[in-house]
Amino acid sequence: MTHQAQPTALSYREALFKAMHDAMALPNTLVFGQGVNDHKGIFGTTTGLGEKFGKNRMIEVPLAEEGVTGICIGAALNGAYPINIHIRADFVLLAMNQIINLAAKYKYMFGGLFDVPMLVRLVIGRSWGQGAQHSQSLQSLFAHIPGLRVIMPASSGAIVDSYAHAVQHHRGPVISLEHRLMYDLTFERDHEPTVLGKTPFSQRRVRKGNDVTVVSTSIMSLEARRAADWLADRGVSCDVIDLHCVSHIDANVIMESVGRTGRLLVADTSWQPYGVGAEICRIVCERDPGALKAPVVTLGMAAAPCPTAKSLEDIYYPNLTTLTDSIAKLVRGKADHGIELPHERSMADVYKRFKGPF
Amino acid sequence: MTRRCEETIVRIYPDDEMKTPMHMSMGQEAVAVGVCRALGNNGDVVASYRSHATYLAQTEDHGSFFGELHGRVNGTADGKSGSMHLADIPKGMLGSTGIVAAGIPVAVGAAFANKQNSPGRIAAAFFGDGATDEGVFWESLNVSCAMGLPMMFVCEDNDLAVHTRKSHRQGFNSLVEVVKKYRCSVYEDDTNDVESIYAMTRSAIAQIIAMGTPAFLNVKTYRYLEPCGTTMDSDAPYRRAEEDAYWKGRDCVALQRARLLANGLAEKDVVAVENEINAAILASVAAAKAAAHPTPQQLYYGVFYEAP
């Protein structure tokens, strides 16, 4: 028997397909979703798996988000590992009752009798006019709720390892927010961030540095890496931490970094009020606000629903230029920091060969 | 006009100046045009994300339509909403939403207000058969029938939720037979003929006003293009060649054109009208391209009720 070599590079999409394939290879896995068995196969992440493993386990469902989520919970109670997929994160809002009132509480509410092992895959849309109802980044809503584990994989390795861990070892509900703009990006195995903990759900270090701590989520971790690479050539050394699991943050990782750098910038994919940036600030302020040499800076989407007009969408999201500028200002302590900035209007233009329809 | 607008979209979409997902109505226009014509100026309409035909039929305004698709300030929402969210209050177009079935209860609310404030005015919800799988459709139907609201449910029945057929999604054989058990009047059409749909809707309106109960219209139709996008996907695995041929053989625009000629209109007169429509649409596209982009200040306008 020949040993099958692990590929040295996988696209985010290929990683998702591999994760779904490996999950389906286990006998108890069920996948529920609208479009899992059609020719598009959830952007190619489930294509052919219904034929290979059976459409009684790769289940095409009617539009019934709340009902299907409850069905996943019930199946999980009886020994299955359900995976429920929503091609836009926005659509899961129809299932919030089951997720928050039942899935998150089922173990606690019945004195620990039940486990609800299940994975909910949500895809964050962005760019090219996705608009107000197809582009929301809802991690804070879920991370606010005790009982939910919320992850935002920012690399192919994070997908493969975290989904395998969820399916094989984790006994509770996991909400995973995937980012549509990353689907066509290829990640090399040798350049995966370092996992800073015991499980694949742990935080990751993207780059080690001493001038400023950059805590980031999802695709903003890629932006942070690009900004850090740019700034490294110009004398600024960034410590970049990809949060990955936004619901369970290792405060020691954050405090160790801030203790070294004295400066903190948080770059999230969502709105700032009550968001990831606020949570990181809570962690620092409750432990050692004196570690900070300068006020914290946070970046996120403008505090508005997402506009479709390209001219507004370009300023709605922080881009590489604004991120680099913000880091430089923070480190130099002044607006005229004298550091050359990369020129770029829109991240979408860089990452995506993506052009509608979604 | 609706068909010509969408043919124009198909032609110019690859230029990438309209950066918004397109959920095209092509093939299904007779439903929107027949129903909206029958409602006239005395109806409120909430559409699905497949909003083009409904919006154009209700407002006849392709100027702001193309402005919105181009993300410009002469659009329905200053270019901030794109293809899925089209509205025009004076013309009774109360919006369209990107979340399947989400607009149905909003139309019920409009019907509730109309019952109190505007007797004789009817609210209509347009939705696909996929939306009838959602709980909120059944909640809305139940509430409307229980309360006796002047409400019209318009199911644009193309048999498909994205790529999935009714037979794979529904645990019953006939939606119409189920809805007949509710306290409402039920109408069916499978002609794809705009005049037949118009006449049926007039009967439904009369019934709603006379009985004070809702109506449910199930109109069979057919979507020509892919669920999202401007490409004909006749070869996709979910399509059926005979079905494709059947519906394209009774194209609603071709049917109506043939009727006009049969009724004695001269070919040149029909062509003259068509040319006029085409020229007006091209003018709308040109006006959209010439219009200003929204300013950065407009990003925050309308988030809250206070001025930003």
The model's pLDDT over A87-130, given as tens digits with 9 standing for 90+, comes to 999 999 999 999 999 999 999 999 999 999 999 999 999 878 88
Residue A261: is its pLDDT beyond 90?
A: yes
- B308 inside domain: no
Domain of residue B290 covers: 2-299
CATH number of the structural domain spanning residue B141: 3.40.50.970
Q: So what's the pLDDT on residue A5?
A: 65
* Chain A residues 4-33 within an 8 A CB cutoff of chain B: none
What are the phi and psi torsion angles at A188 (to 5°)?
A: -85, 140
Q: What is the pTM of this model?
A: 0.93
Across the range A66-85, mean pLDDT stands at 98
Question: CA B308, CA B303: separation in Å to the nearest integer?
Answer: 8
Which contiguous run of DSSP H or E holds residue B142?
helix B135-147
* Chain A residues 87-106 within an 8 A CB cutoff of chain B: 90-91, 93-94
**Are B80 and A312 in contact (CB < 8 Å)?**
yes
Yes or no: say if A31 and A72 are a contact pair by the CB < 8 Å rule.
Answer: no
Residue-wise pLDDT tens digits, A205-232: 999 999 999 999 999 999 999 999 999 9
Pick out chain B residues at pLDDT < 50: none
**Are A357 and B101 in contact (CB < 8 Å)?**
no
Q: Nearest to residue A68, comparing CAs of A34, A110, A115?
A: A34
Q: So what's the pLDDT on residue A343?
A: 82
Yes or no: say if A5 and A188 are a contact pair by the CB < 8 Å rule.
Answer: no
Whether residue B204 lies within 8 A of chain A, CB to CB, comes out as no
Mutate to test the interface with A, among B18, B81, B167 (most CBs of A within 10 A): B81
**Are B294 and A309 in contact (CB < 8 Å)?**
yes
Q: So what's the pLDDT on residue A2?
A: 46
Whether residue A62 lies within 8 A of chain B, CB to CB, comes out as yes
Alpha-carbon distance B142 to nearest alpha carbon in chain A (angstroms): 17
Could you state, in order of their start, the residue ranges of all structural domains in chain A?
10-186, 192-351
Mutate to test the interface with A, among B10, B19, B49, B238 (most CBs of A within 10 A): B19
**Are A308 and B81 in contact (CB < 8 Å)?**
yes
ipTM of the predicted assembly exceeds 0.85: yes
Nearest to A308 among B82, B134, B303 (CB): B82
Q: So what's the pLDDT on residue A354?
A: 41
Q: So what's the pLDDT on residue B219?
A: 98
Question: CA A96, CA B109: separation in Å to the nearest integer?
Answer: 23
**Number of domains within chain B:** 1
User: How many residue pairs bridge chain A and chain B with CB atoms within 8 Å of each other?
Assistant: 138
| Contacts for A45 with CB less than 8 Å, ≥ 6 apart | A13, A16, A17, A20, A85
* Nearest residue in chain B measured CA to CA from A93: B99
Residue corresponding to tokens 């339509």? B65
- B307 inside domain: no
Q: So what's the pLDDT on residue A355?
A: 44
Residue A346: is its pLDDT beyond 90?
A: no
Q: Nearest to residue A72, comparing CAs of A114, A105, A117?
A: A117
**Are B82 and A131 in contact (CB < 8 Å)?**
yes
Side-chain half-sphere exposure of B292, counting CA atoms within 13 A: 6
Across the range A282-291, mean pLDDT stands at 98
Yes or no: say if A121 and A69 are a contact pair by the CB < 8 Å rule.
Answer: no
* Chain B residues 84-123 within an 8 A CB cutoff of chain A: 84-85, 97-101
Q: Which residues of B touch A355 (CB under 8 A)?
A: 16
Whether residue A60 lies within 8 A of chain B, CB to CB, comes out as yes
**For domain A10-186, which architecture applies?**
3-Layer(aba) Sandwich (3.40)
Long-range contact pairs involving A49-52 (C-beta distance under 8 Å, separation at least 24): A49/A20, A49/A21, A49/A24, A52/A21, A52/A24
What is the percent of chain A with per-residue pLDDT over 90, rounded to a whole number?
90
**Are B300 and A302 in contact (CB < 8 Å)?**
yes
Residue A358: is its pLDDT beyond 50?
A: no
Topology classification of domain A192-351: Rossmann fold (3.40.50)
- B141 inside domain: yes
**Are B71 and A308 in contact (CB < 8 Å)?**
yes
Across the range A267-287, mean pLDDT stands at 98
Yes or no: say if A297 and A326 are a contact pair by the CB < 8 Å rule.
Answer: yes
Residue-wise pLDDT tens digits, B57-106: 999 999 999 999 999 999 999 999 989 999 999 999 999 999 999 999 99
* Chain A residues 71-90 within an 8 A CB cutoff of chain B: 90
Residue A357: is its pLDDT beyond 80?
A: no
Mutate to test the interface with B, among A51, A312, A346 (most CBs of B within 10 A): A312
